[in-house]
Amino acid sequence: MDLKALQTTLREFAAERAWQPFHTPKNLAMALMVEAAELAEIFQWMTPEQSQAAGTDSMTQERVADEVADVLLYLLQIADRTGVDLKRAVGRKLVKNARKHPPVRPGLPSGSSGPARVETHVLVDWENVQPNDTDVRTLVPDVTDVWLFHGPDQKAVGARHASFGDKVTLVKTSRAGKNSLDMHLSFYMGHIAARHPEARFVVVSNDQDYLPMLEHAAELGYAARLIGFDAAGAKATTKSSPAKKAGPAAKKAGPAAKKVTAKKTPAKTAASKPKPDPASKAVPASAKEPAKKTPAAKKSPAKKKLAAGQTAAPAGFDSTRIDGGSVPDLNKAVNHVIASLKKTTSRPTKQAKLLSTVKSLLGPTGNEQLLNSVLAQLFASGKVTIDASGAVAYAL
């Protein structure tokens, strides 16, 4: 039943008959009481057994149906006139009632001989983190349902979660784009909460942008939290992640380190000269020259060159084994990315999307060094090019 559509129909019905001036919340509430009394009148002189059998008599059932419908229609109009969201109100009230009236016999709900189960839904941002089924159980031991949200170009998403059986659901975003997956995940959490108001919710992601939504859900009475994940383990997140704040600091430290190296290198070179000529101006220039050739000076701008599509694989890159053997070699990773790009009909057209797509194709074992190396091979081979505006072109 679409309650919103029904409320619209009732509003139009009243307008067509010029009843709006009479449909104040007070009048509607009084009319609701009258209809409820008419419903009670049907059962007034019945025995408990007769009332339980009322549904078996077609005439009595029709009378009950008419009065129940009248009660519901007036209730919907009261909610419409007072701006009450019935679905949200019912969900919140169920949570409040459960807290106010705990079960007399925990674990034995009415009509069931089995233990009561509170559902815990785990919603994974697969573009951000890729935990396997064991990781999910470690993060959330009481998990009952798993939802994996992934981009349209990500493949084999549920391959490592078969142990959850029909309790794992894959949700592919309708299209790629900034915050597209975040919006899908948030929508589904509300969708699930409307049907399971007593369920618990855990979002698995290192993206702190989910916190405001989860905090609001907690204010409405839902049990909701964010958990971060990395290859080494997991941690519950309730505030801004320190790891996220460390990023800018690390960037600031980079230039400082370069300056120190640049200053010290000439000093050592100059000191190695047996008898430097104080009058010569060529000494500082020759002292600076080795600093330009050091591996550190070459590696530091590698990321910028990658963005412009002008560099090859980093010098000294060990392509024999990556991440303890998870990816056999660089060539295999490159071939895997090329094959995946060939198959897809919606290749990334912008630089930022290309980077995120390649990162997702490499999976959780793809570190920053491997990502840069793969991109460098793609650019160097001419398979992928990026123009000055950031537009991506392919020659696959």
Q: For the structural domain made of 3-84, what CATH number should be given?
A: 1.10.287.1080
* CA dihedral of 185, 190, 194, 195, whole degrees rounded to 10: 10
**Residue range(s) occupied by CATH 3.40.50.1010 in the chain:** 120-237
Q: How far is CA 219 from CA 65, 147, 198, 236, in A?
A: 37, 23, 14, 19
Cut 0.85: pTM above it:
no
- Give 207-243 as a DSSP string: -GGGHHHHHHHHHTT-EEEEEEEETTEEEEESS--HH
- Token pair, residue 10, equals 């009732």
Mean pLDDT, rounded, of the chain: 76
- Tens-place pLDDT, residues 296-313: 444 444 433 334 333 333
Instruction: Check if CATH label 3.40.190.10 holds for domain 120-237.
Output: no
User: What gap in Å lies between CA 379 and CA 348, rounded to an integer?
Assistant: 15
Do residues 121 and 175 lie in contact, with contact meaning Cβ atoms separated by under 8 Å? no
- Give 266-335 as a DSSP string: HHHHHHHSSS--TT-SHHHHHHHHHHHHSHHHHHTTHHHHHHHT---SPTT---S-BGGGTB--HHHHHH
Q: What residues does 146 pair with on adjacent strands?
A: 122, 168
- Tens-place pLDDT, residues 177-220: 888 999 999 999 999 988 888 899 999 999 999 999 999 998 88
**Residue range(s) occupied by CATH 1.10.287.1080 in the chain:** 3-84
